[in-house]
Amino acid sequence: MTAQTFRLPRLHGSFAVKLAMAAALIALADQVFFIRELSFGWLGLFGTALALTTVLANPALRHDRRALIALTFALAMAGAMIWDAAPLPFLLFWVALGLAILLPGTARFDDGWRWAQRLIAHGFKALFGPLIDLFKLSRARNRRPVGTGLRRLLPALFLPLAGSAVILTLFTFANPVFEQAIDSLTMPLLDERTAGRIIFCGAIFVITWGVLRPRRARPYFGTFDGSGDLAIPGVNPASVLISLIAFNALFAMQNAMDLAWLWGLLPLPDGMTLADYAHRGAYPLIATALLAALFVLITLRPGSQTADNPLVRKLVTLWIAQNLVLVASSMLRLYDYIDAYSLTRLRIAALAWMALVAVGLALIGWRLLRGHSARWLINANCAAAMLLLGTYAFVDTGAFAAQWNVRHAREVDGTGAGIDLCYMAELGTPALLPLIDLEDRPLDPVLRERVRELRAQVQYRQGQMLDNGAWTLLGERRLARAEALGRQTPRAWPGARYDCSGTPQDPTASYLDQIG
């Protein structure tokens, strides 16, 4: 029997290196997330390690400028998770990392619609990546000549092995030495933690293997060029021209009334306050702007008869400008509503969304005037969205909303909405420093006590999060700043006399009982 008989299929050098890299990442994840049970900012640190390992594992990535840009964005989002872990930077990290590992396999970027398909297909194929590679290794082994190797050896070993097992089993009933030896070889039962650890490490392997050995995927649906005439019943140059005249007139009336009422030039109708007016129209007007954008995209495609008409081009330019005024008035309406009823995270997100709608409208108008392709419009909107979301990932909107509400509270400046301590409690740890600011202001004694108790509760929660492994750089700095302002972090929470709404509570109730 030769040495070649037992030779395993030789692994390609890069394949073996990637296996070693995956094993190292699994060991790191197991140590950080499973054994030490760390979370939050540690996800960003693991993401950084994964991204840097990807650079080492894929030489083509290091020589592709587009991939390096995407990788830089992925590292920035990993940094955002280290700063303050949240779903948005987590999602953007995986999108950017997917782009980085797939871009070297393409000749050009093409457009965001095709890349959305590539990323979805890549994520789906990554689930089966290890099985695909195992199948390839098996086929490679089967193609090798076995000679008189293991296949011939196994039938010869069957009889002695089976016979010895039967005899050894009989001996265990008669000989206590054999019985003890067999018992000592018994495999331990698989407990829940061990099973969970195996599943966790398997999931990490699938994730890392999908990044280290990406599956190239082509887009399944092409991008419509969005140019030329589109045959739609009732849509022709005359109908589009009349529509634009009517739409411009309606928008002009709406914008004129908005400007008059929102800027205080004319009184509002009887029985309606500015806050009611602001709340009533902010979101419907954005829907109107989106419908206007859809109308332009469908009926005024570059190269169509309607788009080539000079009068139509002037009217659509005017209409887009009016849409931008409409979006601006929607943002002003929302600002007035915030001034009356306080600021929340969702209202900050709504303002950001309105700004993105305005950018999209401007890009649609520019595309029409310059005759750009649909691919250009998609990519320009994707770039604007990624820029906005990438910036948004670093903004602590909860702290911003809490600080705004403190500075504009009726209890502080005599105007605006009353301070909503229940919303501050809902915000949680981001409200810590704004609560300290509020606590230091001249307040009614009962309100001050409520603020102090809520601040201590939030500070206790922040300390517990850091002690229990839910670390973020922002959380650590937030707690250090609170302690520098003279507020020591409670190590236990005996209870509070009031809940967030001011209702008296049992002071003997524990903190955990109060928050459920």
For 272-300, the pLDDT digits (tens) are 776 677 666 667 888 888 888 888 888 87
pLDDT at 291: 87
Decide: 395 and 83 in contact? Cβ < 8 Å: no
Residue keyed to tokens 């999602």: 91
A 10 A CB-CB count for 244 gives: 23
Statement to judge: residues 317 and 432 lie in one domain: no
How far apart are alpha carbons 397 and 394 in whole angstroms?
Answer: 9
Instruction: Give start and end residues of each alpha helix (H) in 273-420.
Output: 274-299, 305-308, 310-341, 345-370, 374-392, 397-407, 410-413
- Among 109, 88, 174, which residue's Cα sits nearest to residue 382? 109
- The residue among 194, 223, 252 that closes a domain is 223
Same domain, 505 and 447: yes
Residues 213 and 241 in one domain: no
Among residues 408, 402, 385, the alpha carbon closest in space to that of 336 is found at: 408
pTM of the model: 0.83
DSSP assignment letter at 265? S
Instruction: Round to whole Å and give the CA distance between 255 and 70.
Output: 41
Strand 39-40 with 470-471, pairing: parallel
**Same domain assignment for residues 150 and 20:** yes
Does some domain include residue 231?
A: no
Q: Is there a domain that residue 1 lies in?
A: no
Q: Structural domain tally of the chain?
A: 3
Check residue 514 and give its pLDDT.
41
Mapped onto helix, strand or coil, the DSSP state of residue 304 is: coil
Q: For residue 187, what is the DSSP state?
A: P
pLDDT value at residue 111: 86
Instruction: Indicate the DSSP class of residue 498.
Output: B
Q: What is the DSSP letter of 84?
A: S
Give me the helices (H) in 58-111, please. 59-62, 65-83, 87-102
Beta carbons within 10 angstroms of residue 229's beta carbon: 15
What is each CA distance from 263 to 69, 259, 274, in whole angstroms? Answer: 44, 6, 10
User: Does any domain span residue 62?
Assistant: yes
Are 80 and 212 contained in the same domain? yes
Tokens matching residue 7:
């030779």
| pLDDT of 270 | 74
185 and 90 in a single domain? The answer is yes
Q: In this structure, is residue 290 part of a structural domain?
A: yes
Same domain, 35 and 84: yes
Q: Nearest 5°: CA angle at 389, between 383 and 395?
A: 145
For 397-407, b where at least 16 C-beta lie within 10 A, e where not — what string? bbbebbbbbbe
Mean pLDDT by 10 residues, the chain (516 residues): 40 75 95 94 96 93 93 97 95 96 87 90 88 75 54 62 73 69 62 88 94 81 67 74 91 87 74 70 80 84 80 89 91 86 92 93 89 88 95 96 93 83 94 96 90 93 94 96 94 74 63 40
Please give the residue range of the domain that contains residue 407.
399-515
Q: How far apart are CA 431 and CA 424, in angstroms?
A: 6
Examine the domain organization and report whether 358 and 480 are in the same domain.
Answer: no
313, with CB counted inside 10 A (0-12, 13-18, 19+), is middle
Residues 58 and 126 in one domain: yes
Q: Which residues contact 114 (CB under 8 A, 6 or more apart)?
A: 219, 222, 223
Residue 201 lies in a domain: yes
Residue 4 lies inside a defined structural domain of this protein: no
Are 403 and 391 within one domain?
A: no
Tell me whether residue 390 is exposed, middle or buried, using C-beta atoms within 10 angstroms of its C-beta: 0 to 12, 13 to 18, 19 or more: middle
Residue 298 neighbours by CB under 8 Å, 6+ apart: 230, 232, 235
Establish if 61 belongs to a structural domain: yes
Looking at the structure, do residues 32 and 159 belong to the same domain, yes or no?
yes
pLDDT of the residue at 85 = 92
Domain boundary among 197, 223, 249: 223
Residues 298, 318 contacting (CB under 8 angstroms): no
Helix axes 65-83 and 41-57, enclosed angle (nearest 10): 160
Domain endpoint, select from 189, 223, 257 = 223
Confirm whether 2 is domain-assigned.
no
Asked if 331 and 431 sit in the same domain, the reply is no
Query: Which amino acid is it at 287?
Result: A
